Amino acid sequence: MLRHLIILFICLMFGLKMAGQNEADGLVKWLTIKEAQAKNKVVPKPLIIDFYTDWCGWCKHMMKTTYSNPILAEYINTNFYPIKFNAEGKDTFEYNGKVYKPISNQPKTPHEFAIKMLGQQLSYPSTLFVTNNFEFNLMSQGYLEEKKIEPILVFMVENVWRTTVYDEFGKNFAKTFYDTNFNKKPVKIYTIAEVEKLQKKKPRKVLVNVTSGFCNSCKVMSKTTFMDSAIAKIVNEKYYLVEFNAETNDTILFKNEKFTKGMVNNFPLNAFALKISNNRFSLPMICALDEQLNTIDVLNFYYSPELIKPALLFFGDNHYKTKKWQDYIAEYTSKAAKTPKK
């Protein structure tokens, strides 16, 4: 369950520091819009903007429950700049280079900023998640309980939004942590040492699925993407799959070279992850190697089953040797559109 993963993340990197609870604010350390933007200029992080009103009962309930959960609150305080915004407030402020003002001094009148962000759907609570220097926004309206907000937090923090729409990730997140009875097909996993031996007898391409203990989207990929029946079939037929923990303390021997764990940009990382990714490290990350164990390409960030399938065929069937990816994916997409769905 994600709760356990978040606990591990907190204990390893920050520790639980929560003190007394303010019922009106929960345990989240809320900032003003001005404060959050100032901090974001120094150290960029995603924003959470909680749109509430003084009369909104579900807003108060969300503070008493979701935002009073010490595990979730610490995760939010560590990885986000959280903003609590009164949607009927009377402040004037600047957000992302534009000034927003109250449109009336009358009570229960929506603020210009709320109208801009929520549009015609002025319902509360509403939660806006913002990242990548204000370029990506994800809006969720209504009460967010623990199970609903957890995948959204991971989606934003771990850059899943770069490759996948939220609905797709949310579905696979639920399969991983809540609905573990979904149909899945076993996929054979090898060690690096086993792969090197096998390449001498039965050469195949290799997929190295790079993970870590605190990477939740890595867990989702391992438990859903690679165990999807269609994906597992391709992997088992065309590849040797290695799951590699980027934080391992083990010394890795690869192509007669030793790789050990060290600190890279204040992150404990085994140098093997940098080697096979050609220094394009991210989490999650899939490195495709040829039969001589040379890196063909690196798939950075989260990949759903639908997204990874054409890439696996592109490498596995050697299309990469004769076609550019752009040409191949255009042909693949066109063919898929003409194929009747079963």
83 and 201 together in one domain: no
Residue 102 tokens, joined: 């109250």
Average pLDDT, stretch 276-283?
96
257 and 123 together in one domain: no
Q: Which of 134, 157, 180 is the last residue of a domain?
A: 157
Question: Does residue 217 fall inside a structural domain?
Answer: yes
194 and 327 together in one domain: yes
Residue type, 71: I
272 and 201 together in one domain: yes
Whose CA is closest to 326, among 314, 335, 337?
A: 314
146 and 30 together in one domain: yes
pTM: 0.89
Question: Does residue 153 fall inside a structural domain?
Answer: yes
Question: Does residue 78 fall inside a structural domain?
Answer: yes
| Residue-range definition of the domain harbouring residue 260 | 189-338
Residue 129 tokens, joined: 């998640």
126 and 262 together in one domain: no
Alpha-carbon distance of 181 to 204, in angstroms, equals 31
What's the CA angle centered on 271, arms 269 and 275, to 5 degrees? 130
30 and 138 together in one domain: yes
What separation in angstroms does the CA of 63 have from each of 67, 77, 131? 5, 14, 23
Q: Is the pLDDT of residue 93 over 70?
A: yes
Q: Worst-scoring range by mean pLDDT, 8-12, 277-281, 317-321?
A: 8-12
**The domain that contains 334 carries what CATH number?**
3.40.30.10
Question: Does residue 208 fall inside a structural domain?
Answer: yes
Question: Does residue 167 fall inside a structural domain?
Answer: no
What separation in angstroms does the CA of 220 have from each of 63, 76, 115, 117? 28, 20, 35, 31
Alpha-carbon distance of 203 to 303, in angstroms, equals 25
Q: How many domains does the chain have?
A: 2
Alpha-carbon distance of 175 to 83, in angstroms, equals 30
pLDDT in tens, 98-107: 999 999 999 9
16 and 148 together in one domain: yes
What percentage of the chain exceeds 70 in pLDDT? 92
